[in-house]
Amino acid sequence: MPESQADIIVLFGGTGDLAQRMLLPSLYFLDVDGFLPEGLRIVATARAEMDRDAFVEMARQAVCERAAQGLCDADWTRFAARLDYAAADATRPEGLQALKPLLADARRPMFYLALSPSLYGRVCSALADAGLVNERTRIVLEKPIGRDLETSRQINAAVGAVFSEDRIFRIDHYLGKETVQNLIALRFANALFEPLWNNLTIDHVQITVAETEGVGERWPYYDEYGALRDMVQNHMLQLLCLVAMEPPVDLEPDSVRNEKVKVLRSLRPFTRAEAQSSSVRGQYAAGVVGGETAQGYETERGQPSPTETFVALRADIDNWRWAGVPFFLRTGKRLPERRTQIAIQFKEVPHSIFGGAAKADLTANRLVIDLQPDEDIELTLMNKSPGLSQGSMRLQAMPLSLSLLRAYSGPGARRRIAYERLLLDVVNGASTLFVRRDEVEAAWRWIDGIAESWRDAGLAAKPYAAGSWGPAGAFALIERAGRAWYD
């Protein structure tokens, strides 16, 4: 096994939802495809008392739910041989004693904390006090890291007291999606786009993360964070950074992350005036989604709440490349469709040589990057309509598509779970797709400014019907800038 590769993975919260839905299936598929190192062991731990056989059966059921083609007996037998389980209280050194025999021969352990971020500091301290950390140990942290800048600093400081920054892997699973990574290739592997990727040719950018599901049983968590802290602070700002960052000198971790931090530091701070004109808060009420009746957030929660389940923002990046180009962000629960999308709207041609109907048909180019449910990159270009016409020619918009679904849909093709890429990178010690501490804190600084401006302006969450695209104010926000949402 190469010196850079982890030799054991310990999943804290191994019986929880994240481990069962995402982490264990991802590790299984990596093993099937031959990406896991020979001899790598996977140990799950949680407080629940359970023997190894019971956990292996639990893992088998979890993997079965994600394996569209079913399990191959040989593949499962090989993967199951890697698995083990130990009941432990990860917040106390004495509670971790059950892990010691399993880690006795490990030289490069990898700890994955699929736990509440409020426990990160205590778990790291307990691991160190129990003697389970060495100079090669890696630790993986799930978002959100804190609820604001102050709590984020506290958590990062507690983790940093045990682990050096190069051994801390902060996961944002959006960065593991194929189309997100393809955005880097699109921008920096093609000479076509870079000369156009600026305020001279781009009119505006839209980033949409829409979900049809409600909060449901997750309301205790959601009531504390809301859409701003849950979605904008991490997923949406990561997408914004990849669109807006300058070309890095290479793909080394710090080269990429340095450029992302520069974008975050260039975001124009929100004031009380911006809160009213450049942001909208919403909370879903009863409505219809996908033909089915949906309850409102407060009904699910059982009592009134000021928490926002929808946010729309105008973000401005104050640097030479993006001065004057608005970035419109929107995210929400109980919207009409599930969609994660980046739309790059180019400016209109400076002068149209076409007259008559052709002039009316002429529309500006648009680059649309779909992340889910389908992975696609589509560039809309103007084309002459086929056939004869009296007088001026007719034009029509035509899409050029780089659909991953169509391009890689042969026999055996499978859409990978985003966590597969990220887990593989941690195993191999590659940190490019992970978030650095100063990056997290720069994002929180901007988000805290928005939350503070909301408080100063007394901006309440406006109700919107489940199944709609949010409050009317979201449409007014973009229309004030002379644009419209791309739907």
Give the residue from 281, 288, 280, 311 showing the smallest Cα distance to 212. 288
Backbone angles phi, psi at 74, to 5 degrees: -65, -40
Catalytic machinery residues: 235
Give the residue ranges of DSSP H helices in 315-417: 356-361, 404-407
**Cα gap 372→415, rounded to integer Å:** 11
Backbone angles phi, psi at 230, to 5 degrees: -75, -40
**Cα gap 128→93, rounded to integer Å:** 8
The one-letter code for the residue type at 307 is T
The residue ranges of DSSP E strands in 347-419, in sequence order, are 366-372, 376-384, 395-401
CB 91 within 8 A of CB 119: yes
Block residue for tokens 């264990």:
24
Q: What is the DSSP string of 222-268?
A: HHHHHHIIIIIIIIIHHHHHHHHPPPPSSSSHHHHHHHHHHHHHHBP
In the three-class reduction of DSSP (H, G, I as helix; E, B as strand; rest coil), residue 479 is classed as: helix
Tokens of 236: 């949406």
**Cα gap 325→322, rounded to integer Å:** 5
Give the residue from 80, 76, 75 showing the smallest Cα distance to 56. 80
Q: Are strands 339-346 and 202-210 parallel, antiparallel or unpaired?
A: antiparallel
The one-letter code for the residue type at 41 is R
Query: Rounded to whole angstroms, what are the CA distances from 193 to 103, 129, 188, 243, 327?
Result: 49, 52, 8, 12, 18
DSSP H/E element including 56: helix 52-66
CB 467 within 8 A of CB 172: no
> What sign does the dihedral 164-170-175-177 (CA atoms) show?
positive
Order of strands, sheet of 310-316, starting from the edge strand that comes earlier in the sequence: 395-401, 376-384, 366-372, 339-346, 202-210, 326-332, 310-316, 279-285, 462-465
